[in-house]
Structure 1
């Protein structure tokens, strides 16, 4: 009798263990419907969304009190795990703010996937929008000269420091002043999103948080890659209908199509 009861108790305990493991696995996995939804909204495949979820959960689990979000202190790791290396703190904070759409001070999985999509596989418009948000340090909806100088200087310091080179901050200040002189059409010392887009048309490296390639002394091979990337997203912009290309005096002029 006692042996039979012991076996029954053991079987019940084992069953409870299986159920607990199943519940834990379900909690740690993303519903297939949500995976498909995020895959439709981004260029990611369902497998890539699932892989991003594993990265996200492994970092979020480090904070048991908030297991469904990642914190600012975990954000750099979340980017690096997905293959995006951002070392300078100013750009890191800017990206975190851009990812944090609901302004909660944390990033949920949906925000993480959409942000990663814009970073790694975004369209021309998404990349421009993301870079605008990074420059907009105080999240005011406009970019000041000081903000643009701050971001460009932070990135340049890291990149030049890695090469053992020094940076003349006056070069960046001069470049930014020239950008504002030309594209701040309202002459109010800020760039709106539309004004920033026009600036990007002539300085595409702004999207990668760099001032003019010639000013920062980028290698010729890198300049070629930047030009290739620029041509690709301009082509996307023309197809999407928010940029237009016109031939003028033997040159192709690109301009932004204002929303109707």
Structure 2
């Protein structure tokens, strides 16, 4: 697998170059094909292998290709939220991929702070999560602003696919942010530490770059969700099913197995 790294070319950021190179392609699939080459050839380097994580995507998932397609599909804004309580950065949620042939998703790019709530969360957090008391050390979950969940009718525990550090991991919508202001870009302790194993992620130290892709499947909920735990195998099964359908809708080919040279 590979990780997407931040580069600057002659003083221009990657995002700026990306949009200059790709914005004139009106079709999402065509844009993804062209822009994936930019990502894969210029902005990828070796990443930690996520194939052995129980809730990681199947090796046939083209993580870089999907990431590029998400970058290309940023025209229909659903809402915009700050990523910190200081409101010094904001990010938007997009619905460009809401009405594909086989799947329906919304997506956004943000940082990843650690949600302090839940069983085994930080001592200054709430032991309860919005739909139970999920174990922060055992359950991969992501957090959404309460207003976004209501507006888009996102089911509790809805499937999410999180692209971070070049890998794709599955998670559930396990908690809401109802603070003032409502912020976006949070995950459980397990999700944060799995995404960034070398960064000493904890409740006081998150991943600051706005390069984590959150893909939300609003109406897809894996079976086996309990008050404190989930069925990881069921999460992965539904996740692989839905992400491969998304990959097909985007016209992206399957990838070789992790064991391939």
Q: What range is the shorter-chain TM-score in?
A: under 0.3
Question: What's the TM-score once normalised by structure 1's chain length?
Answer: 0.25
What is the TM-score normalised by the length of structure 2?
0.25
Identify the structure with bigger relative contact order (alpha carbons < 8 Å, sequence gap 6+).
Answer: 2
More helix by share: 1
Higher strand proportion, which one?
2
